[in-house]
Structure 1
Amino acid sequence: MDAFDYIIAGGGSAGCVLANRLSADPRNRVLLLEAGGKDDYIWIKVPVGYLYCIGNPRTDWLYQTEAEQGLGGRQLKYPRGRVLGGSSSINGMIYMRGQAADYDGWRQAGNPGWGWDEVRPYFTRAEDHYDGASEFHGQGGEIRVEKQRLRWDILEAFQRAAEEWGLPAIEDFNRGDNEGSSFFQVTQRKGWRWSASDAFLKPVRSRANLKVVTGALVDRVLFEDGRAVDVAYRLGDRDHVARADGEVILAAGAIGSPAVLERSGIGDAHRLCDLGIAPLRDMPEVGGNLQDHLQLRCAYRVSGVSTLNQRAANLFGKGLIGLEYLLRRSGPMAMAPSQLGMFVKSHDRYATANLEYHVQPLSLEAFGGGLDPFPAFTASVCNLRPESRGRTAINSADPTASPSIRPNYLATEEDRRVAAQAIRITREIAAQPAMARYHPDEIRPGRDHDSEEDLQRAAGAIGTTIFHPVGTAAMGTVVDAELRVKGVDGLRVIDASVMPRITSGNTNAPTMMIAEKGAEMVLQAAQ
């Protein structure tokens, strides 16, 4: 049995940051355990390769939700990265911090040290922004942030239409108030994906005090006298145990970390007993508070303008796309899944924008399916601060068994009202003069959905996850403001699951920030 100062369960967005920071002191012995494999798959590196990574057992856990009542009984595929870099190796690469009010809300809820002014330095210290250092951005850090390397007339027209509707164009979403429209900045370097593994792990893999084990499925944490001392994991068909002389850190994400806690005896005691797991600490909050952004994929057929539907319609078009990427690292193969972003208030009663748009020069019936055989664009819109709360929970003590995932979308009347209004706003923008020359024709959900009741039902029919699960080991309930699991010693959770409330935007950058701040907390405690 090997002994380490720190054992990190999960080599994803948070785990890579933690491995880097905790091993910077050569006196610290650090073990990073990742259930997936190495991130040497070519489609991880090519930005459009997310299409081949999501749903691929080489890179994805292949989770799916339970039947969702709010979505008409549909089950959704629920991608989570199972590879070094985690979801940062398969995600949409959008660099988005959220709003200052998000973090101030965390602090005001009883989590000191997590306000906007306190967390912003952790964003900037790790950043290498294309425009250099400024009040809001950093230079020379590990996370490369660049502009996207393409343009589409249809997206620029939709941005002008939004301005005619009343939404201003802005330069940057990451200054604390993201209301407005802009083109997303992305975690790429010269047209290649730049994951947390690229940024934080690969540069330090040669450190003698850092051991990285892939294919290592963490089973549970073992305790002695209420303190985490060992981590049990499977490597192939063999069981292993690693000793933690310092701390154990769960960084397995919003689905993985609560599952490890439950298998370790921390969770709802009655459920654990039913599964044959001896409870260590009765904590029903583990796995609860699940929040996610539900995107409504509103699609419009257009004419007189090029979209990806035509450009990728045949082998010749695909060949030209491939050649452009080969020669310039630009064009559709360099695309993030979404290019144009917009942050909008669905109603004046909101102090800050509560809707986020991801606008794309393409359309398809369902994510992962083929493109529609006609020119079209999609304006996906999500409620940034849903009231609905779900739950994830293990169904078995077997670490290879998939957990139950119930996001509980559209469970509240307010969430349903916001969804209906989001579709109305999308229609209003599409009807502005800037779009008139392209004759936009709504194909999803379709103009036959017009009443409040119809629009709410339509939202449930077209809604799908945008891959932002958080909150299942939240600060204030499961962990304290230092990210220590309550009621035990030597165990922390440091990943997206500790967010008490979801951020108003994409969640990868906040997850890496949490790991930056969490690593500093761990090191300070050791002193």
Structure 2
Amino acid sequence: MTSHGSALWGIRPQEEVMQTKCDYIVIGGGSTGCVIASRLSENPDASVFLLEEGPRDFNPYIHIPGAYYKTAQGSLLKRIAWEPTSSQSRSEQPTMVQARVLGGGSSVNAMIYIRGAPSDYARWEALGADGWNYADVLPFFLRSEDNNRFCNQAHAVGGPLGVSDIDHIHPLTRAWLQACQQAGLPYNPDFNSGDQAGCGLYQITAKNNRRSSAATAFIKPARHRSNLQIRTGSTVTRIIVEKGRAVGVEYVAKGRKWVVMASREVILSAGAIASPKLLMLSGIGPAGALREHGIPVVADLPGVGQNLQDHIEISLVYQLNGPHSYDKYKKPHWKAAAGLNYLLFRDGPASSNLIEGGAFWWGNTSEAIPDVQYFMVVGAGIEEGVDAVPGGNGCTINLGQIRPRSRGEVTLRSADPYDN
């Protein structure tokens, strides 16, 4: 990647830097950042400044569940290259994607509503994450949720986040679920009940057949608040630290460098890649590595960027002997029919997230609970990196490892914030 050098950020040395002040700065307008900014701004006496690198969530494809095939690829994603292993050439270098839009992953993903198994939370707490036991976090799930089917000890209604059944279920999804049961997997009516084992239909984060992203659920109702400022298209380049305390940030927007200072807190919620990257660019991280890039050390914290975990997926792509999946709607006349149905009735294929069913089961039978998650994708070539099939009609089974054992790291290539 080309270094920006002395022209970094495109700022002229003599240009005045605009500075503002607030109580709280939230870096990153993804799922976490949207919730935090909304919650903090409920206090009318607290001023909140939310910064997001990507655009607002105005793209209409974001809000139509069936347009997931559009948001799973394209300009709303930021691609980050892995460093090749010893057996790979750089031309074989895979990439991972991160959302780059207000709402983050919740604005571009398949909307599948899965919380995780209770034992996962117990394990996190045992490792030192105090307050993360399942019983401790469940009230917050319930407070957030507005479920259109369940209202019991595991689910609630009335919260800001829409959670719903998928109204339009493709026949291929139903056939696959029947095949799972014939193979011995029990039918599970609710993967979020505390027991995930089995196959079933997913619930999704949608309301009235529209995506219920973190931006829609938490930020949209808060936008009228005068104490909440939202800055999209803003790349944070450095956290300002004074006397060992984060007091502000520098960011670039519209070709200009800006500074915003926080009298109370700077909250970093930019994701598993961007958060450690920004810390290191700000001088917070392993001292030796920072000095190699000429970054002044503010705090020597060797753990920054370490212990990266990712859920690797395997995609099994199948060619079908006819138009038996949503790939049928790649044809212009079928696409127009589905679009008109959704426009008039908010129903039909466009109301589906294209991944309606799935399963949790064992890859390693020595594990206490399922360690593999299955996704039945009723199409081929929907997600980035997965090819379509000859003839155009296919489906995909994704298998995801739930608890990866491998560990990676995030390191800097340079002191340039734009170097990925």
Distance 2:177 2:306 in 1: 38
1:219 pairs with 217, 231, 237, which one?
237
2:351 pairs with 331, 334, 338, which one?
334
Deviates more, 1:159-168 or 1:17-26: 159-168
Q: What are structure 1's unaligned runs of at least 5 residues? A: 403-527
What CA RMSD, in Å, does the superposition of the two structures yield over aligned residues? 2.1
- CA deviation vs aligned residue, 1:407-462 (integer Å, no higher than 9, x gap): xxxxxxxxxxxxxxxxxxxxxxxxxxxxxxxxxxxxxxxxxxxxxxxxxxxxxxxx
The residue number in structure 1 matching 2:124 is: 106
Indicate whether 1:355 and 2:355 are aligned.
no
1:385 pairs with 362, 385, 403, which one?
403
CA shift at 1:69, angstroms? 5.9
1:465-484 superposed matches below 5 A: none
Distance 2:88 2:182 in 1: 33
Indicate whether 1:250 and 2:278 are aligned.
no
Distance 2:163 2:345 in 1: 18
Indicate whether 1:49 and 2:67 are aligned.
yes
Normalising by structure 1, report the TM-score: 0.72
Q: Is the 8 A contact 2:55 2:233 kept in 1?
A: yes
1:270 pairs with 275, 283, 288, which one?
288
1:160-179 superposed matches below 5 A: 160-179=178-197
Whose strand fraction is larger, Structure 1's or Structure 2's?
A: 2
Deviates more, 1:22-31 or 1:362-371: 362-371
CA shift at 1:152, angstroms? 2.1
Distance 2:77 2:106 in 1: 11
Distance 1:196 1:289 in 2: 27
1:16-415 superposed matches below 5 A: 16-57=34-75, 59-68=76-85, 74-303=92-321, 306-309=324-327, 311-364=328-381, 367=385, 369-370=387-388, 372-373=390-391, 375-402=393-420
DSSP-derived class of the 1:228 partner: strand
1:412-427 superposed matches below 5 A: none
Distance 1:233 1:101 in 2: 40
Distance 2:275 2:259 in 1: 18
CA shift at 1:305, angstroms? 7.5
Number of aligned residue pairs: 400
Distance 1:147 1:356 in 2: 19
Distance 2:72 2:94 in 1: 13
CA shift at 1:145, angstroms? 0.4
Q: Is the 8 A contact 2:380 2:387 kept in 1?
A: no
Amino acid at match of 1:96: I
Q: Is the 8 A contact 1:106 1:115 kept in 2?
A: yes
DSSP-derived class of the 2:241 partner: strand
Normalising by structure 2, report the TM-score: 0.90
Distance 2:198 2:216 in 1: 31
Distance 2:293 2:193 in 1: 47
The residue number in structure 2 matching 1:479 is: none
DSSP-derived class of the 1:380 partner: strand
Distance 1:126 1:266 in 2: 33
Distance 1:301 1:319 in 2: 24
CA shift at 1:208, angstroms? 1.4
Q: Is the 8 A contact 2:65 2:209 kept in 1?
A: yes
DSSP-derived class of the 2:32 partner: helix
Amino acid at match of 2:274: G
CA shift at 1:296, angstroms? 1.1
CA shift at 1:301, angstroms? 3.5
Amino acid at match of 1:206: H
Distance 2:165 2:55 in 1: 29
Classify 1:27/1:343 alpha carbon distance in 2 versus 1 (closer, same or farther; 3 Å): same
Seq. identity, %: 37
